[in-house]
Structure 1
Amino acid sequence: MAVDGPDARLYGRERESQHLAGLVASARSGGGALVVRGEAGIGKSALLRQARLAAAGHGLLVLSATGTEAEARLPFAGLHQLLRPVLGRADELPDPQRDAVLTAFGMARGAAPDVFLVALAVLNLLGEAAAETGALLLVEDAHWLDPPSADALAFVARRLDADPIVLLAAARDGYADGFGALDQLRVERLDDAAAAALLDARAPGLPAGMRRRLLDESAGNPLALVELPVAARRFEHEPLEPARRPLTARLEEAFAARVPGLPAATQALLLVAAVNDGDALAEAVAAAAAVAGTAVTVDDVTPAVAAHLVDLDGTSIRFLHPLMRSAIRQRAPLARRMAVHAALAAVVGGHADRRVWHRAGACPGPDDDVAAELEAAARHAQDRGAMVIAVAALHRSGQLTVDPARSAARLLRAAELAVELGRHDVVGGLLQEAEARGLSFAQQAQRLWIVASFGDGLRDQKTGPVVLAEVAARVAAAGGPGADRLAMRLLNSGALRSFWSEADPGAGRRVVAVTEALPVAADDPDRLAILAFAAPVERGSAVIDGLRGVAARAGADAQTLRLLGSAAVIIGDFDQAEACCAASIPELRAQGRLGSLTRALAALAWCAAHQAGLGAGVPAAEEAARLALETSQPLFFGIARASAAVLAALGGHPDRAAALAAEAEQRGVAAAVRPVLATVQLARGLNALAEGRHADAYGELCRMHDPGDPSFHAGLRCFALTDLVEAAAHSGHRDAAAQVVAELEVAGRVTSSPALHAGLRYARAVLADDARAEALFREALNAGTSRWPFSRARTQLAYGQWLRRQRRPVESRAPLRAACTTFDALGTAPWAERARQELRAAGETSRIRPATGHDELTPQELQIARLAAGGLTNREIGQALYLSHRTVSTHLHNIFPKLGITARAQLHAIVGDLKGW
């Protein structure tokens, strides 16, 4: 804690001061973010003030914002406060980003922006503003930032490594603030020597007994060491009684004790300032006059400044510490606070969002007019991309609504939005409040969907697919506005639950039956997705036909294409899946819809894993996993990691594959997510195949086909048949594998799934007797699998092996040579080596594909290299990947030496085309 004045020293904070000084000094060479965390009064603000002075000495641009409880319901208030000095540069942003940030700040009208698109705009805006001087961003009381601002700043903070920007955020213990994943600087209480030095500097000449008591009471808290002596002298007795109360409460009492002796007008002005969601002095004066019932002027703030409660900063009034604000607000009677809200509602009438919250604060009971205004405020918040604020507004609207049915409707709507935010705790509370109003049948069905849809329906074991299907049938039969839509939503949740966690095929059949009974077009995208997830085998052919019809129609939006791509993956139509997902990704990136982008990338990675598409699959899996963590989608993190494990095994990286599989399994086991566990087993089986451990591979892969195993999945096992048969053929398990093939032959008569039929053709040839094998191999190779090179190359390898065993080495060379070439091109080194071994045994040598710099690139570097090879600029790549263009430049600086090139133009020849991106 400092003594007084801008250059005052901080006692006992040498380590923390040096750390912050080093960060600030390095801002121009590379950015970063740090959260300064500790209890109230521990000196976080003093450290940030010291950092501000250091930044000024280095000539850095300094931008700052302070979170307040009162502003926490105003969307993007904190972010707007931070960026206000540089908003004039918004026109330099790409149009979608400029429109997003201005819409978020209420400075323009447009489609509701995704918070991540706003965050990307902020990142680029700050990058341009800091380009010449570097910048320091200071966020005081970050725990009280409005949630959209906190989310956007956390997003930015994770991407500052290559920009000349340092972000320092001060956050109090005991609050959720969204900055937990950033580096933390813990500020502890002062040691005895530093505490004594600070006390003696601020309160010299204390009696020995009081000095000792103050040191004990303060327990090393700097604010207490400064303020408790003031309270002790004011009342001329021992510091504060009783001593056992929490220190924060005693500090609040010390601040509140300064108020009663102030003039009535000053007291009114202080209470207004404490309740207000803004800091304009004019607002406080005008509202205070209404509360006091007498004239109040700017001069009436002077006694509060003299009492060290507030400070004036131009036309703003600010409390010197947040505890002062809370102390004054909490000590005021409820009726007095309500009167202040009413006065502020009149004063801020030109700001609709602020006005309605003050009107709500002034309500003694239900009020339909205010409830309607809050509902409108919720819509406005949604339009600005501030979903958390929309939830809060609908929640309060429901509480103030007179009619119980309408109140429940607003609370249920709030719960729906909270589901999108991943806030299970908030959802539960809102549903309880809605139930207390009494729910109609339709509202009960809506409640069931809300519970089932949270976490893709895996959270509540009471909401199984059959239950959801039955309720959907009743909803559809009852009719009414929106009945079919609600029924489809329930069925979608049932289908997802069936896919992710159910082993009972009857549950999926019931979802299908109800879906097909609804008056919905056969090629409706939502209907097709439900059928794919609920019955990937039984309805596979119908879904394939429907998907191709929808995709062929012009004008499908990104969300529809993503949905179709996910459905196509599930039924094994990988060509269609790749086309739909790849087509959806650019628009989802541009819209900033990172939640949907995560799912599209995960589906693309999953598809690539089954086709050995390492070039597109590895970066897609890496980005999907990173975004899944950012968007709170644990199921898709598991799928992305499991897909990455498969790709690592195919590429011949056994240690990485094993580590990724273990990480994915941890996620999958915890929630019994069968698709994740099945993909983990596929990765482990492929890893064993890659190392020539065929018996181990068979043991891993056969688990996917055992209905009693947690990794069994009736749909996904159809796409791992080639792997199982390859392992079985080399480990003495041909008969056991033949039984699995027979089961899947039955499935093949039901679905036209390309992936299943490719596996069946391979299995028939490999497991056939010598009299039929050659014809079956030729049939498999003539089946039009040129778009699936890995599948074709594995068939060529198996055919060449069979020919050599038949003592036809010369004939075996052509398919073996073709297989080796394909495996080399794909980067599936273990299979390429196996083909070379067979070629050598057949009397032909093949040069080993030399390692290239391409193999040394990280997944993100590979992704950036592919985009650069496709002609995108650094700015365009940054916009696509939600990185700053400087970060992209840094990556390219590392990529060029790895690839042995010196110019961007050389990338295309090495990295290849931009397919899928």
Structure 2
Amino acid sequence: MARAGGSLTRRGLRGREAELEELQALIASVARTGSGGLVLIQGEPGIGKSTLLAEVVSGARAAGFSVGVGKADELHHIVPLSSLAACVLHGDQPLLSGDAFADLARNHDQRIWLVERLAEAIEARAGSVPVLIGLDDVQWADPLSRFALKQLPTRLRTSPVLWLLTARRDPSGPAEEVVAAATGNLPTVTVPLGPLSGAAIDQLVGDTLGAAVDERVRDLLDGAGGNPFLAVEMLAGLRTAEASDELVPPGLVVGVRGRLRSLQPGTLRFLQMGAVLGRSFGFHAAAALCGRPAATLIEALEEAVRAGLLDDDGDHLAFRHDLLRQAVYVDIPPSARKALHREAAHHLVSAGHQPIDAVPHILRGALHGDEEAVGLLQRAADDVLSVTPGLAADLMTRALELVPPALPLRFTVGERTILSLTRAGRNREALLAGDRLLAGRPPLEVFSRLQAALGGALWNMDLAGELRRRAETALAMGGATPEIGARLAALHALALSRDQDLVAAREAGEAALRAATAVGDREAHILALSGLGEIAQNASENAVALGRFAALSAIDSAFLPEEVVAHLHMDDFEAGERLLSQAADHAGATRQAMMLWAQGQHDLGLGRLDDADAGFMTMERLEDEVQIPVQQVNGRVIRSRIALLRGDREAALEHLVAARERLAAKPNPGNTAAVRFLEAVHAEADGDIGLAVDKIRQVQRQGVFMRWRLLRDWVDSAIRMALRGAEHALAEDLAAQAQAHARRNAAVPTATGIAAQALGLVKNDLAMLERSAELLKASPRPLVRAAAYADLGQALLAAGRKRQAVAALTHARGTFAESGAHAAAARVQHALEGAGAGSHGAAAKQRPVRPVHGWGALTASEQKVARLVAAGHTNRSAAELLVVSPHTVNTHLTSVFHKLSINSRVQLANLVMTLPDS
């Protein structure tokens, strides 16, 4: 509560002893245990949040913490990462150098990647010393800082990092969002600050006046309502008033307006210009708004500092408190404020600031039809699109509102608004904005551009039929430029990839690719290759699909996950692993969640069920973080099947429920088929074969290519259900699909082996099942091989060839068990026991069940991660050694801490030290 240039002193923190003691205990706990924590100090303006924050920071620094503290600003709350920048760049030992931070902000293209890099820097520092990161006035934090604050505390919960935030009370505000994200993952404490007691106010009076308080002063202080800032300002105003023999009115007027009246007119105008610029502002910027040379305002600056209204740190001026700035700001007439904000925006850009720095002033001062403001909003949106696409979409939406309907500029701005909204995942808003623009009957060339811009939103919303109709209409009407015509043709082919006539779709895609190549349009080229890849994949032409997706990822590395999965469909897991390793080295260059999807598919194919489950879990978390769900239905379907293979029926049911919930939000044909198939698997496990067969029939009705994308590796399960339900025709249909797929992929052992297995099951053909097992020896997919050997073993038993049957079944059981598919292994074991293989049965029953808690509960991957982290590795260095994503390491580590009932890396290291070497 001290102020620059004044005589007010502070003798301790008045009236906050209990809160301070609680926070000091938390500091000691973080240092002692090595685990993280989060504190939110809440209260009304002036209640003492910043003062308490400063006191806690001082104590933490004295306790040996590395400290970084920043403050969010009301008028600077848009610039991406501006709020957290102060936290990581300031302090005795900044967490990042200015150059490193600038490079980080300049080169990343994904929020998740940036947050991970920040986490690595903080984690590295916390490896040697506890860290405190404080941010004052979180309610004004910029969107990217808010995003990071919702991820980082949980990400760093196992390191000694204390997050100390202050905010005004707002149940639905950013601060509450941060606390909600951390709750349940690390200790969180909310410290509400209420009014000071009368005794504490008396202490403040003693600190200020050094004398007993008379009734007149006590009555005056009652108007402060226990707010320490207002009380201090009243006391300061009281001294000023007494010195000039003025009457002292109640309220903040005493502390601010009373002093403002005594200022020179030039000083008052200077303060008003500063208030327009924000709590913190530059001297030259305020001088420019005053319309005077900076040298002529030195006297005004000195007077403002002497009056205790401004602080001057040599680089910036700052109002000593937000309430001071607001008191000055509200005295500016509203019309003048608006004009001054427009001037401020113009000055900032003229002075070389980035457009985003001017945006707060544009939003407050722009008038309808202000084309300069529209241009600045567009430039700012371009600058932040890759960092905070939601903010970019908001800026473009505002820009569009400023453009009168009659201006041609409206269509140009509208097109970019559609693209920004689509990038932000706000597809429905994009479609509504586009349709409003189209209702204005734009020229044909503009009509074509808008329809092309809407293509991404329509595709993301699974409206392939509507996309096809719009593309065909725009192409038929003509008037498009060659580039837009090529994009429309490519979008048309992409829409046709969901149609039944894939031959026509392929022809359209080839034509679109030729057009894109001819005009040299990158966007059209990407769309055409994407469409052709989808078409080939839906037609079960794996080699062709691989060629398309490889060409696509060569142009845009964001499509690397599609190339990885295409390699897996060719049984080329080595190539897939190389690409995954490359992606791990350049994590900022592609889609994090989709790379985890590809990694999960890779691990699943190789029978690494624990790793696959962790990968799909991490993928869903990342999709939730960016609020753009893509593969969540399929991820849950696979995780449910993994749980059933393991024998965890409870987890399998939880995943089924989650898959149904996500299907309701994204009910496209592929998702519907996946959930219906999963329901069939669960019905079979429950013994309801009739329901299982009905669900398989529902899958069949989703379309040939859609069901086959789902069933290519799981068709044997569907055939067994059909046969158990005496639905032989359905089983034959499924087997025929497997045959057709194998003919198109004769060089893929998994495809040919599954086709032989399917035919052997349907025809009850032992020779064909033997051929299946032989073919699948070349397949890299152990679970597929195990299922084929199990079918072969059953057929051999039925044929009376017990010795060969036991060998096949034993091989199947061992392969299932090695992958962790213990429920599947148990079913094979039951068949072995039925065949009289008693010794094998005894051995199988001795397999220990994995416990729920303790070291033995950890999966093999979790144990590797635990040992690396215990040895001092960060998430990134552990990920590099294991050739996985740091996000996957974080998922494993979360599970490790839960299973071991520990909270910090220190505890983990101590526990691992007690384990025998292995």
Shift in alpha-carbon separation, 1:615–1:67, aligned structure 2, 3 A: same
Task: Say which of 462, 467, 470 aligns to 2:469.
Answer: 467
In the TM superposition, what whole-angstrom CA distance separates every residue of 1:212-260 from its partner, at most 9, and x where no partner exists? Answer: 9858xx5x877677779999999979968xxxxxxxxxx8999678645
TM-superposed CA distance for 1:332, in Å, is: 2.0
Tell me by how many angstroms 1:704 deviates.
4.8
Gaps of 5+ in 2: 206-212, 518-524, 897-903
Structure 2 counterpart of 1:645:
640
Residues 415, 431 of structure 1: 8 Å contact kept: yes
Show the counterpart of 2:194.
Answer: 190
Can you list the C-alpha shifts for 1:363-404, whole angstroms capped at 9, x where unaligned?
Answer: 767566676566555555568x46566556656766777993
State the alpha-carbon separation in 2 of the partners of residues 419 and 859 from structure 1: 41
Matched residue of 2:79: which SS? coil
8 Å contact kept, 1:24–1:55: yes
**1:67 is the counterpart of 2:100:** no
Task: Tell me what 2:900 maps to.
Answer: none
Structure 1 residues 874 and 202, CA, compared in 2 at 3 Å: closer, same or farther? closer
Of the candidates 710, 715, 722, which is equivalent to residue 721 of structure 1?
715
Give how far 1:137 is off: 1.0
1:116 to 109, 112, 118: 112
**Alignment partners' CA distance in 2, 1:446 and 1:256:** 56
Find 1:668's aligned residue among 658, 663, 667: 663
Secondary structure in structure 2 of the residue aligned to 1:793: helix
Match of 2:266 in 1: 265
Deviation at 1:340, TM superposition (A): 6.5
Residues 873 and 700 of structure 1: CA distance in aligned 2, closer, same or farther (over 3 Å): farther
The alignment status of 1:50 with 2:55, answered yes or no, reads yes
Amino acid at match of 1:876: S
Q: Structure 1 pair 126/375, CA: closer, same or farther in 2 (3 Å)?
A: same
Aligned length, in residue pairs: 855
Say whether the 8 Å CA contact 2:267–2:304 is kept in structure 1.
yes
Which residue is 1:405 aligned to? 408
The verdict on how the C-alpha distance between 1:666 and 1:449 changes in structure 2, with shifts beyond 3 A counting, is farther
Distance 1:187 1:207 in 2: 33
- Report the counterpart of residue 142 of structure 1 in structure 2: 138
Residue 794 (1) aligns with residue 787 (2): yes
TM-score, length of structure 1 as denominator length: 0.77
Task: Find the counterpart in structure 1 of residue 597 from structure 2.
Answer: 602
Distance in 2, Cα, partners of 1:734 & 1:463:
33
Does the Cα contact within 8 Å between 1:32 and 1:165 map onto a contact in 2? yes
CA distance in 2, matches of 1:127, 1:408: 47
In 1: Cα distance, 2:464 partner to 2:262 partner:
60
Render the CA deviation track for 1:610-652: whole Å, top value 9, x for unaligned: 6744154123212212222222222333332332222222222
- Which residue of structure 2 aligns with residue 809 of structure 1? 802
Structure 1 residue 155 corresponds to structure 2 residue 142: no
The DSSP-based 3-state class of the residue aligned with 1:166 is strand
Alignment of 1:452-463 (within 5 A): 453-454=456-457, 457-458=460-461
**Aligned partner of 1:776 among 765, 768, 773:** 768
> Does residue 1:698 correspond to 2:704, yes or no?
no
Structure 2 residue matching 1:803: 3-state secondary structure: helix
Partner of 2:483 in structure 1?
A: 481
Deviations 1:47-66 (A, max 9, x none): 42332232133132221111
Structure 1 position 881, deviation (Å): 0.3
CA contact (8 A) 1:341 1:362 kept: yes
Matches within 5 A, 1:725-874: 725-729=719-723, 731-735=724-728, 737-738=730-731, 740-741=733-734, 744=737, 748=741, 752=745, 758-769=753-764, 773-784=765-776, 785-844=778-837, 845-846=839-840, 847-848=843-844, 849-850=847-848, 856-857=857-858, 861=862, 864=865
Residues 275-296 of structure 1 deviation map (CA, whole Å, 9 limit, x = unaligned): 2268355335633652699932
Instruction: Tell me the distance in 2 between the aligned counterparts of 1:553 and 1:281.
Output: 48
Q: Distance in 1 between matches of 2:12 and 2:428?
A: 45
The alignment partner of 1:776 has SS state of helix
Q: Is the 8 A contact 1:45 1:140 kept in 2?
A: yes
Q: Secondary structure at the match of 2:825?
A: helix
Q: Is the 8 A contact 2:42 2:190 kept in 1?
A: yes
The 3 A distance-change label for structure 1 pair 756 and 299 is: same
Shift of 1:139: 0.7
Structure 1 match to 2:316: 316
Is the Cα contact below 8 Å between 1:408 and 1:437 reproduced in 2? no
Deviation at 1:148, TM superposition (A): 2.9
2:530–2:552 Cα contact (<8 Å) kept:
no
List per-residue Cα deviations over 1:756-778 (Å, max 9, x = no partner). 76544323212324xxx112212
Tell me the amino acid that sits aligned with residue 61 of structure 1.
Answer: S
Equivalent residues of 1:255, 1:324 under 8 A apart: yes
Structure 1 range deviating more: 310-319 or 543-552: 543-552
Quick one: structure 1 residues 292 and 375, their matched pair in 2 at CA, closer, same or farther if it must change by over 3 Å? same
Deviations 1:527-574 (Å, cap 9, x if unpaired)? 45425546854x222x532414764999676423323345678xxx26
Change (3 A) 1:591 1:266: farther
Residues 886 and 83 of structure 1: CA distance in aligned 2, closer, same or farther (over 3 Å): farther
Counterpart in 2 of 1:22?
A: 25
- 2:754·2:772 contact (CA, 8 Å) conserved in 1? no
Pairs within 5 Å for 1:511-660: 514-520=508-514, 526-527=527-528, 529-531=530-532, 533=534, 536-537=537-538, 539-541=539-541, 544-548=543-547, 551=550, 558-565=557-564, 573=569, 575=571, 582-593=577-588, 596-606=591-601, 608-609=603-604, 612-660=607-655
Query: Is the CA contact (8 Å cut-off) linking 1:799 and 1:815 kept in structure 2?
Result: yes
Contact 2:221 2:234 in 1 (8 A): no
Change (3 A) 1:669 1:352: same
| Cα distance, 1:11–1:426 mapped onto 2, change above 3 Å | farther
Name which of structure 1's ranges 169-178 and 288-297 shifts more when overlaid on structure 2. Answer: 288-297
**Cα distance change of structure 1 residues 650 and 119 upon mapping to structure 2, 3 Å threshold:** same
Distance 1:253 1:412 in 2: 53
Q: Which moves more between the two structures, 411-420 or 368-377?
A: 368-377
What are the superposed Cα offsets for residues 69-98 of structure 1, whole Å, 9 maximum, x if unpaired?
A: 322233433233222237987899xxxxx9
SS in 2 for 1:163: coil
Give the secondary structure class of the aligned counterpart of 2:482: coil
Q: Secondary structure at the match of 1:74?
A: coil
Check the 8 A contact 2:42/2:49 in 1, yes or no: yes
In 2: Cα distance, 1:86 partner to 1:12 partner: 25
Which residue of 1 is the match for residue 339 of structure 2? 338
Indicate if the aligned counterparts of 2:135 and 2:166 stay in contact, CA closer than 8 A: yes
Contact 1:163–1:887 at 8 Å: present in 2 too?
no
Query: For the aligned residues, what is the CA RMSD?
Result: 5.1
**Is 1:274 equivalent to 2:278 in the alignment?**
no
Separation in 2, partners of 1:131, 1:489: 50
Residues 66 and 131, structure 2, Cα contact 8 Å, conserved in 1:
yes
| Deviation (angstroms), 1:666 | 1.5
TM-score by length of 2: 0.77
Q: How far 1:417 sits from its partner (Å)?
A: 2.8
User: How big is each residue's C-alpha offset from its partner over 1:717-755, in whole Å with a ceiling of 9 and x where there is no partner?
Assistant: 4543211223444x4435364365367368649854966
Q: 1:671 to 1:261 in 2, by over 3 A?
A: farther
Tell me if structure 1 keeps the 8 A contact 2:772–2:788: yes
Aligned CA distance change for structure 1 residues 296 and 372 (closer, same or farther; 3 Å): same
Answer with 824-833 or 433-442: which moved more.
433-442
Contact 2:155–2:890, Cα closer than 8 Å, also in 1? yes
Distance across 1 between alignment mates of 2:807 and 2:912: 34
Q: Does 1:422 align with 2:425?
A: yes
Separation in 2 of the partners of 1:279 and 1:728?
72
Secondary structure in 1 matching 2:165: strand
- What residue identity is the alignment partner of 1:149? S
Give the Cα–Cα distance (whole angstroms) in 2 for the partners of residues 507 and 264 of structure 1: 79
Structure 1 residues 237, 868: closer, same or farther in 2, change over 3 A? Answer: closer
Classify 1:432/1:223 alpha carbon distance in 2 versus 1 (closer, same or farther; 3 Å). farther
Closer/same/farther in 2, CA of residues 125 and 713 from structure 1, 3 Å limit: same
- Give the gaps of 5 or more residues in structure 1: 93-97, 241-250, 499-504, 907-917
Please tell me whether residue 329 in structure 1 is matched to residue 315 in structure 2.
no
Distance 2:254 2:448 in 1: 49
